[in-house]
Amino acid sequence: MSDIALLRLRGVVKKFGGFTALHGIDLDIREGEFFTIVGPSGSGKSTMIRLLVGMDDISAGEIMLRDQRIDQTPANLRPTCMVFQSLALFPHMSVGQNIEFPLKLRKDSPAKRRERALELLDLLRLPRTYYDKRISQCSGGEKQRVALARALAFDPEILFFDEPLSALDYRLRKALEKELKDLHVRTGKTFVYITHSLEEAMVMSDRIAIMKEGKIEQIAVADEIYSAPVSRFVAEFMGEVNLFDVISVDGETLQSSALTISNDVTQSTLPVGGKGLLMVRPEDVQFVGSKDHFDYVLEGKIHAEYALGSRIQYEVEADGKILTVETLRESRIKDSEGLPVTLGFNASKTHLIGDA
């Protein structure tokens, strides 16, 4: 992976009549990376991918591919390609004809086309006998692979994915996520993936962009998005989280109505009088024993318990709201419901979101 931006968006705006779907997007996608755009439905991510592949026109701004403007280029002349949510395989063609479609348009010889199609079947771990199969004879996962093979046959600069796994069942989806990641490594292509599932994004991506209401909230590597979100939206979007309102009294020490804070914690990055959100993930909160010391402590009462397999999740009522705590299975508390508990966590496990 290099740091050179392969695809560069500057101030990209998309309006549908009076409604603005994208508000001036700036984005750099690097060559060879697996970049995922995540957002809830209506966040503008699907609009974005349609602009990137050329199915819709942008209202303002510019899209550059290797320093060449492509935003006025029609889809069929752009060196990019998309795997559709519906896969959009051609039902009247065989598997082989589907894969060869872009090669046929390029007027490659039949022998060459066939050879490439067979190579791609190998790459996607489909038996070569599938060449003559009808699309309707393929299973969901096989169709997925055929769609991928067809897109790879086009040999695009960037391969876009519009939630191609969302229609599959859980186990197949999990398997294909890993396969896709593996394929990315093996082909060395730039993948731009769109999904509403953060889990999916975390498994596969090098970098993730979180979108909300037509704007990008945060772009970072998966781990950073999880541990250091820039806003409440990102923090909550990235799974279970506990957030506390805090205020910085003197620019150094944090205060919170809910938390008892040890005196030796001085880590505020907020200005004097600045408000923020202190974030801690459920797995970093612990039940406090008599001898333990934690930087942040609060009292509560266990409200519910859920088994998650290897872990147990507790909902604890404290400070008038429900907090989430996760522990390992072996430290499960018996008859936990209604039990008064003290929760604690350390400053090193927290993240401060400014100006919330």
Partner 1 sequence: MERLDRKLGLLSSLPMIVILLIAFLAPVVVVALFSIMPPKVFSLANTPDFSSYSVFFSQGYYKSLLWSLGMAFASTVILLVICWPLAYGMAKVFGRFTLVLTIAIVMSLFVSENIRLFGWVLTLMKGGLIEGHLRTWTGMSFDSPLYGVPVIVFGLVYVYLPFMLFPLAQGIAMVPDDARQAAADLGATRWQVFTQIDIPLAAPGIVVGSLLSFVLAAGAVAESKILGGQAVIAIADDVETAFTFGQNWPLGSALSMILICIIGGLALFGVSRIDLDAIMGRKR
Which span (80-88, 119-127, 228-236, 279-287) binds partner 1, by CB under 8 A?
80-88
State yes or no: residue 84 binds partner 1 (CB under 8 A).
yes
State yes or no: residue 75 binds partner 1 (CB under 8 A).
yes
Query: Is 72 or 255 the residue whose CB approaches partner 1 more closely?
Result: 72
Which span (71-79, 138-146, 209-217, 319-327) binds partner 1, by CB under 8 A?
71-79
Contacts of 291 (CB under 8 A, 6+ apart): none
Distance CA 112, CA 270 (A): 63
Query: Is 99 or 216 the residue whose CB approaches partner 1 more closely?
Result: 99
Residues in 93-112 at the binding interface with partner 1, rule: CB under 8 A: 101-102, 105-106
Query: Is 77 or 111 the residue whose CB approaches partner 1 more closely?
Result: 77
User: How many of the chain's residues bind partner 1 (CB under 8 A)?
Assistant: 24
CB 3, min distance to partner 1, A: 28
Distance CA 287, CA 298 (A): 10
Are the C-beta atoms of residues 165 and 179 closer than 8 Å to each other?
no
Tokens 């809910």, residue? Answer: 258
Q: What does 11-28 look like in DSSP terms, one character per residue?
A: EEEEEETTEEEEEEEEEE
Closest CA to 55 of 205, 162, 173: 162
CB 239, min distance to partner 1, A: 32
Query: Is 138 or 198 the residue whose CB approaches partner 1 more closely?
Result: 138
State yes or no: residue 60 binds partner 1 (CB under 8 A).
no
State yes or no: residue 49 binds partner 1 (CB under 8 A).
no
Are the C-beta atoms of residues 212 and 43 closer than 8 Å to each other?
yes
State yes or no: residue 306 binds partner 1 (CB under 8 A).
no
State yes or no: residue 131 binds partner 1 (CB under 8 A).
no
CB 72, min distance to partner 1, A: 16
Are the C-beta atoms of residues 204 and 221 closer than 8 Å to each other?
no
Which span (11-19, 21-29, 85-93, 288-296) binds partner 1, by CB under 8 A?
85-93
Neighbours of 39 (CB within 10 A): 25
Are the C-beta atoms of residues 82 and 49 closer than 8 Å to each other?
yes
Choose which of 55, 175, 221, 307 interacts with partner 1 (CB under 8 A). 55
Task: Pull the structure tokens for residue 90.
Answer: 């051609």
CB 154, min distance to partner 1, A: 5
Query: Is 2 or 136 the residue whose CB approaches partner 1 more closely?
Result: 136
Distance CA 277, CA 354 (A): 6
Consecutive H or E run containing 45: helix 45-53
φ/ψ of 307, rounded to 5, equals -85, 125
Choose which of 88, 221, 304, 322 interacts with partner 1 (CB under 8 A). 88
State yes or no: residue 90 binds partner 1 (CB under 8 A).
yes
Consecutive H or E run containing 104: helix 95-105
56 class by beta-carbon count within 10 Å (0-12 exposed, 13-18 middle, 19+ buried)? middle
> Residues 143-162: x/- map of binding to partner 1 (CB under 8 A)?
-------xx--x--------
CB 92, min distance to partner 1, A: 5
Cα dist from 108 to 89, 118, 121, whole Å? 20, 15, 18
The footprint of partner 1 (CB under 8 A) covers 53-55, 74-77, 80-82, 84, 86, 88-92, 101-102, 105-106, 150-151, 154
